[in-house]
Structures are given as structure tokens and as C-alpha cells.
Amino acid sequence: MRNWSKGCVRMTELNCEKGDEFQNYTELKLPDTSNSTFNTSMSLQECREKCLKDCSCTAYANSNISQEGSGCLLWFGNLTDMILYDQGGQNFYIRMAAIGIEKDISDDGNATVKKRVGIIVGSVIFITILLVGLIFYIHKRKHKKQGIMKRKYKMTHNDGEKEEMDLWIFDFNIISKATDNFSNDNKLGEGGFGPVYKGILTKGQEIAITTTIFLDMHGFFGKKGGQWN
């Protein structure tokens, strides 16, 4: 509830010659009627027209709201003792300078546009951050679970024949765990690529592993379907 019992100060002075309009305020306690006149036979539109023709008329309202808004109340001079209710008040039409109403509408429109732009920009930023975070999470989770990368290499035999092999690059922690930290008990021997170890992956798959530097790539390699896996 807003209390305007001591009156209000206009932001824009009235200018009857250049045209005034009426701003509708709802849910109001009507102001003091000591400077008002009434006519019970007039409609609301007739009430508006009569007030608009008289430059000293500052506001109007229905005099009888119980019969669908019949009658006319006109105020002259200052408006005092008004209260804005949350509900249960009456419609009250206050005379305003036309330029003042246009400014209010423009300000309200600009505020609405700014609010909408702010909501849209905020939503876009939030969605972008959410997507970036989701992509980062999926990428990190994938690499954490995968731990193994498959690559193809071409091996050249002594007879000049080329063979394409599926080589796997294992994560060090997986290899270390599979071979019991390269335990000598799991060592199968040594080949042309270095020591060979037997290992068991988490799914129970047995593999033979060697450490090497191959094609300028450091890692742990295995060959599918043969001595390497």
C-alpha cells in the first residue's frame, strides 16, 4: 500500500493549450472531494470529455462504481489524501501532460527491452558455460576410463613384405597394474624390442607387453592376434 495522503508533485507541468491526456491509476482510494463536483447522469466518456475541456480540472472518476461505473466525479486543483491499495480500490484518471505520458511509456518500453536483453544474454552465457563444462567433463571422463589408444603401424619384414598391425598405446598405470609393477615373475624374456612382460588386464585378458621407442613415439605397445597384444 502506498500513501499519497499529502499529495504528489508533478514531474511535468500541465499545458492545456498543447494538449493533455489522462493516466489511469487502479486500486486507489479516491482523493479528498472538497474541491470536486459530480453528476450522476454522465457516462465515464462524457466525464472525460468535460474534464478535458476545463483546464482547471485535474482528474475524474465514476461517482458510482456499484452500477458498472456510472456517474461522474471531477476534481479541481491539488489532489490530496490518496492511497494506493493492493486490491479493492477504484479506477482514477489523473490529468497529465501528453509529453509526460509519452516519456513514461518510452521509459517503460526501454526498461522492458533492457530487461529482455539482459535475460537473453544471461541465458546464452549460462548455456555456453554449461556446454563447455559438460564437454570438458565428458572429455576428461572418456580419457580416464579409456586409458588405451589404438593405432595402426606398418611393419616391414626381412623379406621386404609389409604387414599392417593394430598397435595399442596403454596408459602407464594400466600396464603397471597388469604386470604387477613389471615384476620379474611376469617377465617372459627379452626380444628385439626390449624386455617382454606378461600382464592381465582388468577384464581378465592376458597380454604380452614390451617397452620400446617405436616410430618416434614413446609408450607401451602390443600387437593384436600374435605375440603382441
Task: List, for residues 34-83, the tens digit of each pLDDT value.
Answer: 889 999 899 999 999 999 889 899 999 998 876 566 789 999 988 888 88
pLDDT at 216: 37
Tell me if 212 sits within 8 A of 194, measured CB to CB: yes
Give the pairing type, strands 90-97 and 148-156.
unpaired
DSSP code string of the chain = -EEETT----SS---GGG-EEEEEEEEEE----TTEEEETT--HHHHHHHHHH-TTEEEEE-SBGGGSSBSEEEEES---SEEE-SSS-EEEEEEEEHHHHHHHHHHHHHHHHHHHHHHHHHHHHHHHHHHHHHHHHHHHHHHHHH-EEEEEEEEE-TTS-EEEEEEEEE-HHHHHHHTTTT-GGGEEEEETTEEEEEEE-TTS-EEEEEEEEETTEEEEE-BTTSS--
Task: Look at residue 177 and tell me whether its pLDDT is greater than 60.
Answer: yes
| Average pLDDT along the chain | 74
pLDDT tier at 127, thresholds 50, 70, 90: very high
Chain-centroid distance of CA 58 in Å reads 45
Task: List, for residues 73-113, the tens digit of each pLDDT value.
Answer: 999 988 888 888 888 788 999 998 877 555 555 555 556 77
pLDDT tier at 129, thresholds 50, 70, 90: very high
Task: Look at residue 5 and tell me whether its pLDDT is greater than 70.
Answer: no
Tell me if 44 sits within 8 A of 92, measured CB to CB: no
pLDDT at 60: 95
